Amino acid sequence: MLIDITPIAEGKSKSFSFENKLKVKADLIAGIKINGDISKLGGDYTVKANATADIPFSCDKCLDPAAQSITFVIDEKFSNKESSLEEEEINLFTTNNLDLTECVLANLYLELPLQVLCKEDCKGLCRVCGVNQNETVCTCEEDNNDVDPRFAKLVGMFEPS
Ligand SMILES: [Zn+2]
Ligand SMILES: [Zn+2]
């Protein structure tokens, strides 16, 4: 996501848009769309943009596809002057092409959900047989509630006689 800043004059801005695929996590490639503008003031550049990332998540509970669209904003300053760094959070750049990739990902990470579910009441996979409990009802849970035979005798001891 490179922006050529050579045509931007002091005090002016230009708009840009990108449509890219970016690696968000190990196996997660998101389709990211960005629209915004970049302005130059005092020799530094400010990027303001709206972004949407379509991420092919899997449900944390049942592993079914659970794609999500995440929208976020980007409001970042870029400078090629080392001295600017001390003042505030600024992205340093050294060429005439300003690369947005890193700051896009940094802003996206802040918006990533902690938990992804295919639906709010996803029942998940059965811990015993592994079946998707949204689709199939297994009897494992019931079986689990049965008293361990080793304790059956104990239970009998407390039964009223
Ligand atoms: Zn699920
Ligand atoms: Zn089961």
How do residues 133-152 score in pLDDT, each as one tens digit? 999 989 886 655 555 556 55
Max Cα–Cα distance, the chain, nearest Å: 94
Predicted TM-score (pTM) of this structure: 0.74
> What is d(CA 29, CA 20) in angstroms, rounded to the nearest whole number?
10
**According to the model, what pLDDT value does residue 15 have?**
96
Sign (positive/negative) of CA torsion 131, 132, 137, 139? positive
- Burial (CB count <10 Å: 0-12, 13-18, 19+), residue 32: buried
Indicate if the pLDDT at residue 158 is higher than 80.
Answer: no
**According to the model, what pLDDT value does residue 27 have?**
83
CA of 140 to the centre of ligand 1 (A): 19
Residues with CB under 5 A from ligand 2 (ion): 126, 128-129, 138, 140
* Residue type (1 letter), 140: C
CA of 35 to the centre of ligand 2 (A): 47
> What is d(CA 12, CA 143) in angstroms, rounded to the nearest whole number?
71
Residue 122 structure tokens? 């996803």
